[in-house]
Amino acid sequence: MKHEIRYGKADVKVYRTYAEPLTGITPIPESPFNGRDNTLVAAAIEVIVRGTVFLDAYTRGDNRLVVATDTMKNFIHAVSLKARARTLEEWLLEVGTAFLDTYPHMERLTMLGRDLPFPAAVVPSADGDGFEPSDRLFSRDRCDHGSARLDLERDPDGSVVITDHESGRRELQLIKVTGSAFADFARDEHTTLPERPDRPLYIWCDIGWRYADASDAVLAHPARYVAAEQVADLAVAVFHEFVSLSIQHLVNEIGLRMLDRWPQLAEVSFDTQNRLWDVAAESTDDPRLKSYADPRPPYGHIGLVLRREA
């Protein structure tokens, strides 16, 4: 019998103060983002341990090699205290490398992370002239967030290498009230949806990307790092200006812009839902005036992966 083993600790929430600032990011026209001071960084981190060395724990109840998942939680916090943590990907690499260095019988790891954004609160400026971001007060943002995955293992020489990776911006929710269409689609006896030459469009969207060189994901060269904030801003800019004929049309345009803007990316991917509201009431005098209700399920689900040709 063959076994595939994995175990670990999920949803370890870490709130770290005064991490190392993120600098050296290459700016893009679609985004004002150029770095972070990282006074407060926070993430939900998961470690997944893989390998056959733990088989006896499953088949014989022999736990002598098992690192308790509670120990893993404490270990993540201990390493996070010392980590540079300029980005989520670098943070995961530091924690994962420490796991493999400390526990040599762990063969392979998957490190997963999800940003818990705490942007600076806007407060009256110290000189009394306008407003400015606080240097000590932060507000929990529960909208879209960065994500990352690193698969790590040891080389024959003992060094830790990245065998696979993905960065992401998750749970974008964007509504455009005009400048989108869906028409000229296939029709048959089952079709009831009317054509809409101009419609509001409300999407939920996850965007992922991979680098041609995984070291770019972990700040080997900060100028080649793609920040999740920049990706979100680019998606917003394209959605704002592009007259799309479908959600498929829209995500393809965002993907093409990403690959054009960042030549270091090898792949971009999209997982998108159509969450367009249902019209509940509308004005007879002005067609722009409408009241909407949440849509009834099910929802349209659209996926796309764009990869550069080798």
Q: Which residues are catalytic?
A: 9, 69
| CA dist., res. 285 & res. 287, Å (int) | 7
pTM of the model: 0.93
pLDDT in tens, 134-169: 999 999 998 899 999 999 999 988 899 999 999 999
Q: Count CB atoms within 10 A of the CB of residue 77.
A: 15
Closest CA to 45 of 19, 21, 69: 69
More confident residue, 51 or 206: 206
More confident residue, 105 or 235: 235
Backbone angles phi, psi at 180, to 5 degrees: -135, 150
Domains annotated on the chain, with CATH: 6-167 (3.10.270.10), 169-307 (3.10.270.10)
pLDDT in tens, 172-181: 999 999 999 8
Give the residue carrying structure tokens 């270990």: 75
Nearest 10 degrees: Cα torsion 293, 298, 299, 304: 170
Q: What is the mean pLDDT of residues 189-198?
A: 85
Angle between helices 228-241 and 247-261 (to 10 degrees): 130
Dihedrals φ, ψ of 128, to 5°?
80, 5
